[in-house]
Amino acid sequence: MRELTNAEEEIMRVLWKLGKGFVKDVLAELPEPKPAYNTVSTIIRILEKKELVGYIAYGKTHEYYPLISEEQYRRFQTEQLMTNYFDGSLKKLVSFFVSEKNVSLSEADEIIKLLNQQKKP
């Protein structure tokens, strides 16, 4: 999997939300100022070539749907972030967020509870 451009990710977010849709459906979900219909169509075809979007053809019209889940892409992005900026270390990643975001004690407790749940068989 490859990292998406901002425009590609915006289109994927719409497709994840809709589940499937035609170009006009995707365009309707995008914020103002809306891109041109042809721009959205081109981006979707790029996503199709990257094997991230599939389609069902109805004559000359195509209904598009995501081939990967948002969770799969989130996992990929997190791995890229850890590898590229934190030497693959979860400890360094968590340390960064703890120091950059004022993590409250209750949030820290929730994180510890999540970690403890993961340890249980």
**CATH number (domain holding residue 61):** 1.10.10.10
Q: Does residue 1 belong to any structural domain of this protein? A: no
Residues 57 and 97 in one domain: no
Structural domain that includes position 92: 86-121
Using alpha carbons, list the distances in angstroms from residue 81 to 34, 40, 67, 73, 94: 30, 27, 22, 12, 12
Which structure tokens are listed for 6?
């901002």
Stated pTM of the model: 0.80
User: Is 12 or 116 the better-scoring residue by pLDDT?
Assistant: 12
Cis peptide leading into residue 33 (ω within 30°): yes
Residue 80 C-alpha from the chain's centroid: 13
Residues 13 and 55 in one domain: yes
> How would you class 104 by CB atoms within 10 Å of its CB: exposed for 0-12, middle for 13-18, buried for 19 or more?
exposed
- Which pLDDT tens digit goes with each residue over 35-91? 999 999 999 999 999 999 999 999 999 999 999 999 999 999 989 998 999 998 888
